[in-house]
């Protein structure tokens, strides 16, 4: 299983803290759009192929910094 290094964790922590509520981040390599909502980053366009595992890796890092990384379809279940 992939494990993040310190710089991965610091990067997502900084990104999350810089985003305003409702702010969006677009992963350049895949075009995936993530929206900040409370203590969550929500993958808005889940139909895009994730060959770089951006979602899965962000989910792992998120758990280390106290945020949830979920898909839009999972949002109601959080």
Q: What is the DSSP string of 6-67?
A: HHHHHHHHHHHHHSPTT-EEE-TTT--EEEEETTEEEES-TTS--TT-HHHHHHHHHHHHT-
**pLDDT band with cut points at 50, 70 and 90 for residue 75:** confident
- The answer as to whether 1 is a domain residue is no
**Whats the size of the chain, residue-wise?**
78
- The answer as to whether 35 is a domain residue is yes
Per residue in 2-56, pLDDT tens?
Answer: 999 999 999 999 999 999 999 999 999 999 999 999 999 999 999 999 989 999 9
pLDDT of res. 9: 98
In three-state secondary structure terms, 76 is helix
- The answer as to whether 61 is a domain residue is yes
pTM: 0.91
Show the domain range for 60.
Answer: 6-77
Q: Which of 33, 65, 67 is CA-nearest to residue 48?
A: 33
- The answer as to whether 10 is a domain residue is yes
* Tokens 């792992």 found at: 60
- How many domains is the chain built from? 1
């Amino acid at each position: 299983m992939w494990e993040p290094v310190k710089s991965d964790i610091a990067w997502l922590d900084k990104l999350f803290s810089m985003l305003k509520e409702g702010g969006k981040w677009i992963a350049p390599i895949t075009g995936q759009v993530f929206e900040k909502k409370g203590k969550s980053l929500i993958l808005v366009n889940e139909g895009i192929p994730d060959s770089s595992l951006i979602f899965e890796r962000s989910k792992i890092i998120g758990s280390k910094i106290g945020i949830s990384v979920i898909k839009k379809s999972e949002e109601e279940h959080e």
